Structure formats: structure tokens, C-alpha cells
Structure 1
Amino acid sequence: MNLQKITLTLGLTLLAGVFTGCKDMDRPDPNRHVTQVQSQPKTAFDNWLKSHYTDSYNVQYIYTLDDTEADRSRNLAPAKLENSMKLAKIILHAWYGAYDEATGKVDFMRKTSPRQLLIVGSASWNGDGTITQGTAEGGLKVTLYQANWLDVNDPQALNTTFFKVMHHEFSHILHQNKIWPTTEYDGISEGYAPTSWHNRRELKDYAPLGFITAYASSQPREDIAEMTACYITFPKSQWDAVMEAAGEEGRAKLNKKMEIIKKYMKGTWDIDMDQLRTIAQRRLEEAAHLNLLEDSWKELLGSSLRAFPQTARAAEPSPAAYAEAYKAVVEELRRHPKFLEVRAGKCTTEDDLKHVVNLDQCAAITQYFH
């Protein structure tokens, strides 16, 4: 009984202390709040993005690697500022411009486009050795990886790395807004493999089943997105190669799927897929001849930190800090299954990379430092 009284008395004393301690002067200072957004001075590039992306399409083009936006479970590197600039111009011309021209409607992309585009410099490696080329979150944000490998003079590389991803993710957004004919489409092919699709490495492994890519065989929703994106971005030679490898049965399935997609896109969105394909491929060819760097942007590239967004760091790291960071990144990447086959000592310094025979296995390391 005495113990209960002591405990109750102590509890009341502590509670009184809590109430007497809550004074107006103890309210959080809004100027020191941890969630307050720190404003950064706008550059000429930022102002251009506001005019051509935010004001025109209601889209935020994010080129700094903010921890609140990026996938923290992945070891990612920011995009080079110069590449972010060039990619912004290319996407505006070859993606937004393609849909604007194909639909003939100035507000189509403003209404349906994702609200954010996040540009990441490095690849996003998965534990099984595959790469996630892009992600879409609820139709609101699309993340594009491998910006540090940008080659403006290779349209097919641009398609493979960026535009196939964008058309794929955009098709998901269109399907979320207006449902696609799942009952009719889902039953065309059998053999979807949600967890083992990446084992289908060659055309003969998936084309005869009626799949345009190995990833298309993961599940129906990815199948229709892949079919849409590949039809728009594949050159005729690549599309024909899949059809040839598919054989009569697989080819019939692929043609049936394409027929459904064309009907859906025309009937639901008033988009002619053949016209969109022609426009998109022409505009991508034109992209290499665009002025990809405005004169007012070039002065932003003079810093020795130009490999990273200007607002990403406050000051240049010391040589010792840079060397330590380099070593940490190399060690992290060397533990990835993709690089376990590289002989010890091959990928330890930047100079060593020039002499590595299997460059594919060390490509992800070079992107952090070039």
C-alpha cells in the first residue's frame, strides 16, 4: 500500500513538472525548425526550368540529388550539371514536344505528365545484377538514372537509357487515369515470371512466348507498358528482329497486343501510335543538333565541381576527403555481384580503369568520377 502511494505521488510530481515547464517561451523557433526549406539563389538554368517546365507543363525538373527525393536504399551519385542541362533540353524537345505534336493539344501533357522528373547520375543496381532504368511513383514522379552516361550523338542510346523508360512509365500513368483492356490483353500470353524474368536473356527465351522484352514477361501491366515504349522507340531493324525471333505463334501474339494498344491509345487518348512513333524518332534525331547549352548557363560550369549540381555542396572537398570518398565508393561497388568477377586490384584507382579489359564491370565506378 505504501509503495502504491509513493509511486502515485512521484507520478503526480512529474506530471506537474511537465505542465509547469510548457511555457510560451518554449515554443519552437520557426527560424530554426528542422523541416524549414533552405532557399537557394536561382541560377539562369533554374529560371529556364521554371519557364519551360514548371510554367509550361506544371512539372518540377529536379537535378540535385536530394535525400528526401532519392531512394536511400541505393548507392546513387548526382548527375553532372552539364548533363542535367543537356538532358533537360533533349527531353523537352523529344518527349514533351513529341506528344504535343502528336496530340495537337497544348494542354495534354500539362494535364497528364508526371509532376516531377528526378535526374540521377548513376545507375540503380539491383541485388541480382540487373539495373532499374527508371521508376514512377503513383503517376506523380518519374526518376531517370544514368544521366552521367549521356551521349547526345547516339539516338539509340538515348532511347535505351531514357526515352524507352519515359514512354514506359508514362504509359503506366495513362493506364492509371483511364483503365486499359486488361481482360482482353492479359490472356494473350502465358508464362509471366514475376521473379525470374531476368533469366530470359536472349530473344529466343521470350519472343516466341509473345513478349517484346524479357521484362515484359514479368507481369501483364509491365508487358503492355513495354510494348508501348518499344513500339515508339525501337528502330525498324530492332522491332523486325524481335518479330523474326518470335516465330509464327509468338508474332501473332505480339501483333494482337499491338492491335489492342493502338485501339486503346486512339479511342481513349486520340493518339495515333504510328504517328507518335514517327514523330518521336524524328525529334530524337533532331536533338543532337539543338543548342543544348544556353550561353547564360556556361558560366555555371566553370567550377571544378562541375560534375555535380552547383547547389549540392557548399565547398570543394579537400584532396584527402576526395580520396577517402573515392575509396569508399569503389569498395562499395566492388562488393556488388556485378563486379565480383573483377580480379583484385583492377578497380582500385582511376588510372587502373583505363587498363581494365572488362570495362562493363567497372563502368559504374567511372561514372562517379568523370
Structure 2
Amino acid sequence: MKTSIYRPLALTLLATLSLASCKDTDQPDPNRHVLKPRLEEQTAFDQWLGREYTDAYNVQVLYAMQNIESDRSRNLAPAELEKSMKLSQIVLHAWYGAYNEATGGTDFMRGASPRQLSLIGSAMWNGDGTITQGTAEGGLKVTLFQVNWLNENDPVSLNKTFFKVMHHEFSHILHQNKIWPDEYNTISASDYSPTSWYNRRTLADYAPKGFVTAYASSQPREDIAEVTAALITFSDAEWSAIFTAAGEEGKAKLLKKINIIKTYMKNTWKIDMDALRGISLRRLQEIPNLQLIKPEWQPLLRGLSAPRRSAHDHAQERALVWGRLLQDRHFLDLTKDHTPGDTRCQIIPQYTD
């Protein structure tokens, strides 16, 4: 089983540069910008990304997959242009916008967010039956997969596929800047399992130990990242199911963890987690009403030679891939109960940090 890789990086210099005030000029300072001024002609979409991401947050969005920027040991597909356009708008509204609203401005995200956001069209399937849903490299770059399966009309899918991943990875960035309290590590100290966490396949396997997901039980740093993301993205029904399965002892552990996280985020980053959760879930519901393709981008899409595919087409493709995996005797469906001792691999998400 592939385990998460931790690449510690001192971000003091990065934070200092990022939080420094901008010069009062019309053009961004190239010495503080993630990008040098580009000489080649940019498309309308490139220009929008430059204004809304690079100029606003010092973030570069990579939507045209480059070999040097991706894992060359995997078979990955680039993100479709239309899907990249839509997801860029969605992330700006439901992720950056949520933190801006919760913190009262753009300064926090400009200083703390990753310097690069990379979009990959396909899933990254691992040889052990897991899917890597996101990667974070030293707090500088976050990669999102499954962009081509984007369905902007399904807030639940958006939350699970993209936003839980982003909140998880972002919490690692915050923790690398300012470490969480050591007390957190002691709550479930005897139950972490770095090499066999994936054998905890149901709520009954991990919730009684005080974990919100199986992956949370791998190590403390993944535990606190998972609980942080869950606090923002899980519905009331999901939390109710976790607490019910956890029992009295597991629920007590979870409540201790939640209290530590809320206190840490409030005292360290001035963020009220309950307020952020409400804002995030509201903005998620607003996505289907957004105009995700700007009129000036339409010529770029009409010029594509490949036929455009609907969300239904991608949903069918995803179901087909999933179905083929489940037909393999080596894999099992985690949505169903299984005989104890079943040794088949599980299809579950993980991250690489």
C-alpha cells in the first residue's frame, strides 16, 4: 500500500514574501509574482486566470498538462478545456470565496494558498486498488484529479471529489506554517496504523476509534487534516452517521479533536470553523446558478476539433471504469457488506502529501 509521503518545508520565507504588501502600480511586481510576464499571445481564458488567480492570489493555474509537472509513472489524461474553465470558476467561488468571506478579505488566501493549482483530467489509479484524489507538494502545489468527470449540477459530488481534497491539502499547508497542538496526537495514539489503515473498511472499523475516515487512522497529520476537511464539507447526516457508529468512547475522542481544531483555527488563523462551514456549504449550493463559461471563452471551445461531451457521458465513463474494477476478483465494493477476512483490495481515496 502506498503511504503518504511527507515533504517538510520551511515556509517562513514564502509566507513573508506572500504577505508583503503589493506595490501601488498597475502591473504586478515580477519579482514577487509566480509568473514572469509572458511574451506570447494569451487566450481570453489565460488572461482571466492571470487577473483572477495570479494577480489576485499569486497562484498559477496549470490546466494544460505538462510532462514536467505530472507523475510520468502514471497513465494520466489532460483536463478538457471546458471542464478546466468551469472548475476554475467553481474553485474561485466556493473555495477562495469562502475563505475570503470568513476572513473578511483576500489577504489570508493570498498569503496562505498554494502557489500552483494543477488540474488533471483523469483519476490517478494506484496498483493497490486506491485512488489518489489529490496531491500537495511541500505546500507549494496542489493537484486535483478527475476534472473530466466534473458535474457542476451535483454539489455533493463536487464536495467529495474536489473540495474535501482541497480543504485537506490546505490544512497541511497551514500546519506546516504553524503546528497544531501536541495534545491532538495523544487522543488516538494507540490506534494509528500507517501500513494497514486501508483494512478499516467501514464506519464500524474506524469511527469507534475516533476517526472520521479510514485514511484518518493512518497517522496524526492525516487525522487532523481529515477532521478539518470533514468539519467544513460533511453534511449533518454524515456527522450523525459517524457519531452513531462511533459509540460513546469514539464520539468523546472525536469531540476532543474537533474542539482542538476549532480552537487552533480561531486562535492561530482567526477563522471560525462553524462560520466557514456555513459559508462553504452555501456557496456550494450556489454553483449550479453560476455562469461558468464566459461569453469571451466560447470561441475557444468552438475551435476545438474534438466533440464536446456532456456530464452524462462522463458519468457513464466513470461508472464503466468503476464497474470493470469491481468485476475483477481482486477488488471489492466498499458500499456493501463483506465476509470477514476478505482479502481483496478496496477502492478507496487517499492523498499524497
Separation (CA, whole Å) in 2 of partners of 1:44 and 1:75: 30
Q: Give 3-state SS (helix, strand or coil) of 1:187's partner.
A: helix
- Aligned pairs for 1:10-159 within 5 A: 41-159=41-159
Contact 1:80-1:307 at 8 Å conserved across structures: no
CA distance in 2, matches of 1:44, 1:65: 19
**134-143 vs 297-306, which deviates more?**
297-306
Deviation of the 1:306 alpha carbon: 6.2
Amino acid at match of 2:115: R
CA offset digits 1:92-138 (Å, max 9, x no partner) = 00000000000113211000000000000001111211101001001
Contact 1:82 1:306 in 2 (8 A): no
Cα shift at 1:197:
1.1
- Encode CA deviations 1:333-360: one digit per residue, 9 max, x unaligned: 99x9777459xxxxxxxxxxxxxxxxxx
Provide the C-alpha distance between the structure 2 equivalents of 1:290 and 1:306, rounded to a whole number of angstroms: 24
Aligned counterpart, 2:32:
none
Q: Which residue of 1 aligns with 2:187?
A: 188
Q: Which amino acid aligns with 1:46?
A: D
Separation of aligned partners in 2, 1:281 and 1:139: 25
TM-score, structure 2 normalization:
0.76
Equivalent residue number for residue 204 of structure 1: 204
Supply the distance in 2 between the matched residues of 1:267 and 1:281 (Cα, whole angstroms). 23
Pairwise CA distance, 1:73: 1.5
Give the CA deviation at 1:305.
3.0
Q: CA RMSD in A?
A: 2.2
Alignment CA distance shift 1:341-1:286 (3 Å) = same
Q: When the two structures are superposed, what TM-score results if normalisation uses the length of structure 1?
A: 0.73
Which amino acid in structure 1 is aligned with residue 75 of structure 2? N
Counterpart of 2:137 in structure 1: which amino acid?
Answer: E
What are the residue-to-residue correspondences of 1:162-181 with 2, within 5 Å?
Answer: 162-181=162-181
Any idea what SS the aligned residue of 2:118 has?
strand
Aligned in 2, Cα 1:227/1:172: closer, same or farther, shift over 3 Å? same
Query: Matches of 1:39 and 1:306 in 2, distance apart?
Result: 31
Q: Distance in 2 between matches of 1:115 and 1:288?
A: 28
**Aligned residue number for residue 280 of structure 1:** 280
Report the CA distance between 1:195 and its aligned residue. 1.6
Secondary structure at the aligned position of 2:69 is classed as: coil
> 2:260 maps to which residue?
260
* Partner of residue 13, structure 1: none
Q: Residue 265 of structure 1: CA displacement?
A: 0.1
Q: Is the 8 A contact 1:188 1:253 kept in 2?
A: yes
Letter in 1 for 2:136: A
Aligned residue for 2:341? none
Structure 2, gaps ≥5 residues long: 1-37, 310-320, 331-346, 348-353
8 Å contact kept, 1:62–1:117: yes
Q: Closer, same or farther in 2 for the Cα pair 1:127/1:292, shift >3 Å?
A: same
SS in 1 for 2:278: helix
Where do 5+ consecutive residues of structure 1 fail to align?
Answer: 1-37, 309-332, 343-360, 362-370
Retained in 2: the 8 A contact 1:152–1:288? yes
Q: Deviations over 1:242-276 (max 9, x none)?
A: 11110000000000000000000000000000000
How far apart are the structure 2 equivalents of 1:150 and 1:132?
Answer: 16
